[in-house]
Structure 1
């Protein structure tokens, strides 16, 4: 049976990436430990502006380096030790330096850096779930962008645990911990929003 609507799925069931690939949904979804997470509707103009600004900065920084930059929608799959893939997310932006993780379906394994932009539709629960998976599977650096507060929270993986760094405000310089040469004024992200 062709799956074209969330109403055809059991929201309490556990699914795999193989199931996910079979769905032809109009709605965007992600998987967390096999459970369906509905994504918010189309991002707001502010969200899109922020994403586009990051994409421009990252493109210019990484264009002559071995890393690739991808923006949503782009599937990032996390496979557990049993080979099951029950975690599939679409980060707003991600940087992947190990090209063997990239295939025709997206990324299999942890990107080096992930950016998530908070939207009114993003729930705190969803952020907490993503944080735990990104930490568990070894994302080296995770940025959470808060458009309303005009801040960026950075988490860096140290000894398999995310360590939160001081939030960056719009008047400060943004600097990556794993890519120390990646530095820019945060106002480039938040100006005129």
Structure 2
């Protein structure tokens, strides 16, 4: 099983200041399930997600997949999957939705912004998830961004309006988080954080 150190060594080696393009990264890095993103050419690796983090991903993706499939609206995928925003910027959202009229962007990776991205805030990545990814997703045109905060047990839904994210709503326990992009889709916040109740 690969470790982050093995992955970093395979990618970065002795040249830790090197900037990569996505194509260079694919050519030099072994295929892996470890989270690895490209921020302005810099390889950023993360620890394997926690069990709780992955439970949240599973609960969210299950509900979204089930709903999107019934409505025949597009495709849902969980990370790690590369969302290639540019040659030097590659993100891996925890959950992603691509609308059926944009399925042509799906190949080995997702070549362009997804329509809806979900990030589960990790303990070590709070600023990156809440601020940096938000700004990047906004800049590249991800239409809807769901930010799931396990510590606060909240779900924020941000919608792109005239090139800027606006808060659709902040949902708490006992509420159903809703989507502007996918009218009718609901994620019960209590179920998301505490499982079936």
Q: TM-score range by the shorter chain?
A: 0.7 to 0.9
Structure 1's unaligned 5+ residue stretches are 80-84
The reply to whether residue 35 of structure 1 matches residue 37 of structure 2 is no
Q: Deviations over 1:40-92 (max 9, x none)?
A: x121111111111011101110113131000011111013xxxxx11111110
Kept in 2, the 8 Å contact 1:4–1:25? The answer is no
Match of 1:62 among 59, 63, 68: 68
4+ residue runs of structure 1 moved beyond 6 angstroms? none
Task: Report how many aligned residue pairs link the two structures.
Answer: 184
3-state secondary structure, aligned to 2:63: helix
| CA distances 1:7-36 after superposition (whole Å, capped 9, x unpaired) | 505343321101110212765320012122
Higher relative contact order (CA 8 A, sep 6+): 1
1:184 aligns with 2:180: no
Q: Is the 8 A contact 1:175 1:182 kept in 2?
A: yes
- 8 Å Cα contact 1:153/1:168 also seen in 2: yes
- Distance in 2 separating the partners of 1:7 and 1:37: 10
* Normalised TM-score (structure 1): 0.87
- Give the match's secondary structure for 1:24: coil
- Stretches of structure 2 that go unaligned for 5 or more consecutive residues are 1-7
RMSD: 2.0
Tell me: CA distance 1:116–1:184, structure 2 relative to 1, closer, same or farther (3 Å): closer
State the TM-score, normalizing by the size of structure 2. Answer: 0.85
Residue 145 of structure 1 is matched in structure 2 by: 148
